[in-house]
């Protein structure tokens, strides 16, 4: 179990690392060509790559002809090496991974808690307030806009409208939940610096995409929007479960975007289709690049013993000496019955004795076994060629105080 979990973790690490490297290379060209919103959507490829390798590995019979060309390469080789070393490393790597994951979770939980303690809740208003931070959207179950307490003094009326529009875009798109997923991935892959790098770039692209929506709503307010960016002051840490305008964002790049015209609807749609194809192809490649499917080895066939035929009947020539009546049972006047199952050899002698049932239990068993061990049967079973073979026969013995003896006719049955 531990080795399997470590193998899955290794494959997921390779998949998300490859996805992040690809996204990092194409995000800026994609943003220049099709807009910030299209570049932001591309980040969905990172968690989908992880999900793809966690799905059951494909069987060779289910893969199309192009699959071998995709699966041959560095990811497959590294995954195979990781899989081979997983059992030996699982004893110490898994506890280390769990320890790091819990430690990182504590760090981001404390960071979020410290921010929440500063928030002044206003149930009667559509926003909350916080001293020294904001604007932001915070909260997972019920995200709300959080504004700085000096919001009205810091921003003029036009800037206030733009800031609120920015935060409302975060609310409508569910960006808080996207940030939550990013924080979960950082916990799971705390040891991977690429994941932490991706989290900061993802947050930045999220803000650029939000800026693009606001500028489309207020096309004549670019300068005012830039002034609002410059006035924003926030702590240097990002909220794990929140979206904000952090001062450590590259404002130069954000303000530079204000100078460029926004792409039209047709260009954005074509970019979205391109991203969908790229993400789907990458997820599929991650899925089939898992270590080759190994069909379970068939369990060795165990040769079953040939069935032992049953003796057809008890005849007059059979020697069935009556058992000795136990003295204790005789003294108490007990009666009983024992059902025996006997394996009769080809020579007619009894080879095995089994007690199937007895009443009262255990009183007459030993006497019946001792007697049956000396019995001889003259009518042994015969096969289709007429040769004698071993067979089973059931013999009931009735114990009466006067004359214990086996029944006059036997009961035969298969074993």
Each domain of the chain, given as residue ranges in start order, spans 2-288, 327-406
CB half-sphere exposure, 318, CA atoms < 13 A: 25
The pLDDT of residue 196 = 94
Percent of the chain with pLDDT over 70: 72
Bridge partners of residue 376, in order along the sequence: 319, 349
The pLDDT of residue 414 = 37
The pLDDT of residue 87 = 58
The pLDDT of residue 228 = 84
How far apart CA 104 and CA 101 sit, in angstroms, is 5
pLDDT band at 2, cuts 50/70/90? Answer: low
**pLDDT over 80 at 131, yes or no:** yes
**pLDDT over 70 at 374, yes or no:** yes
The pLDDT of residue 158 = 93
- The mean pLDDT value for 172-197 works out to 93
The pLDDT of residue 348 = 81
Within 8 A by CB and 6+ apart from 227, the residues are 159
Whole-structure pTM value: 0.60
**pLDDT over 80 at 411, yes or no:** no
The H or E element that residue 151 is part of is: helix 151-154
The pLDDT of residue 189 = 94
- The mean pLDDT value for 364-389 works out to 75
The pLDDT of residue 413 = 42
pLDDT band at 180, cuts 50/70/90? Answer: very high
The pLDDT of residue 240 = 66
The pLDDT of residue 70 = 39
The pLDDT of residue 25 = 93
Question: 134 and 147 in contact (C-beta within 8 Å)?
Answer: yes
CB half-sphere exposure, 192, CA atoms < 13 A: 21
- The mean pLDDT value for 111-117 works out to 87
- The mean pLDDT value for 218-233 works out to 83
**pLDDT over 70 at 3, yes or no:** no
**pLDDT over 60 at 16, yes or no:** yes
- The mean pLDDT value for 118-144 works out to 86
Mean pLDDT of the chain: 77
How far apart CA 246 and CA 312 sit, in angstroms, is 94
DSSP string, 130-145: ESS--SEEE-SSS-EE
Q: What is the 3-state secondary structure (H, E, C) of 210-246?
A: HHHHHHHHCCCCHHHHHHHHHHCCCCCCCCCCEEECC
- The mean pLDDT value for 33-42 works out to 90
- The mean pLDDT value for 336-349 works out to 85
Question: Among the listed ranges 206-220, 267-281, 371-385, which one has the minimum average pLDDT value?
Answer: 371-385
The pLDDT of residue 304 = 47
The pLDDT of residue 312 = 47
The CATH code for residues 327-406 is: 3.30.2420.10
Q: Which of 179, 186, 187, 188 is CA-nearest to residue 238? A: 179
Question: 162 and 221 in contact (C-beta within 8 Å)?
Answer: yes
Percent of the chain with pLDDT over 90: 21
């Amino acid at each position: 179990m531990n080795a399997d979990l470590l193998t899955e973790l290794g494959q997921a690490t390779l998949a998300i690392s490859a996805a992040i490297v690809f996204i990092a290379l194409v995000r800026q060209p994609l943003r220049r060509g099709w807009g910030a919103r299209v570049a932001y959507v591309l980040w969905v490829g990172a968690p989908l790559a992880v999900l793809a390798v966690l799905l059951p590995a494909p069987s060779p019979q289910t893969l199309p002809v192009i699959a071998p060309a995709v699966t041959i390469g560095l990811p497959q080789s590294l995954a195979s090496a990781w899989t081979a070393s997983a059992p030996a490393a699982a004893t110490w790597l898994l506890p280390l991974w769990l320890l790091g994951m819990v430690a990182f979770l504590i760090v981001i939980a404390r960071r979020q808690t410290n921010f929440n303690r500063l928030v002044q809740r206003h149930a009667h208003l559509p926003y909350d307030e916080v001293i020294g931070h904001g604007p932001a959207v915070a909260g997972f179950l019920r995200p709300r806009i959080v504004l700085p307490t000096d919001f009205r003094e810091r921003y003029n009326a036009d800037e206030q409208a733009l800031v609120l529009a920015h935060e409302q875009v975060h609310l409508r798109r569910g960006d808080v939940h996207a940030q939550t997923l990013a924080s979960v991935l950082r916990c799971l892959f705390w040891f991977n610096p690429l994941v932490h790098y991706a989290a900061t770039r993802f947050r930045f692209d999220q803000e650029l995409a939000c800026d693009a929506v606001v500028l489309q709503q207020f096309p004549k307010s670019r300068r005012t929007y830039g002034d609002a960016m410059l006035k924003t002051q926030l702590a240097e840490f990002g909220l794990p479960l929140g979206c904000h305008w952090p001062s450590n964002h590259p404002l130069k790049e954000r303000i530079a975007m204000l100078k460029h015209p926004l792409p039209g609807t047709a260009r954005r749609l074509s970019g979205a289709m391109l991203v969908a194809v790229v993400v789907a192809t990458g997820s599929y490649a991650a899925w089939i690049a898992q270590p080759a499917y190994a069909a379970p080895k068939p369990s060795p066939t165990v040769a079953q013993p040939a069935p032992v035929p049953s003796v057809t009947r008890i005849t007059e020539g059979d020697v069935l000496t009556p058992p000795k009546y136990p003295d204790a049972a005789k003294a108490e006047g007990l009666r009983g019955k024992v059902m025996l199952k006997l394996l009769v050899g080809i020579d007619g002698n009894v080879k095995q004795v089994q007690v199937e049932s007895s009443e009262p239990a255990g009183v007459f068993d030993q006497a019946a076994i001792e007697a049956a061990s000396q019995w001889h049967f003259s009518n042994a079973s015969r096969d289709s060629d007429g040769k004698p073979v071993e067979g089973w026969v059931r013999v009931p013995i009735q114990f009466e105080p006067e004359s214990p003896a086996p029944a006059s006719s036997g009961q035969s049955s298969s074993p």
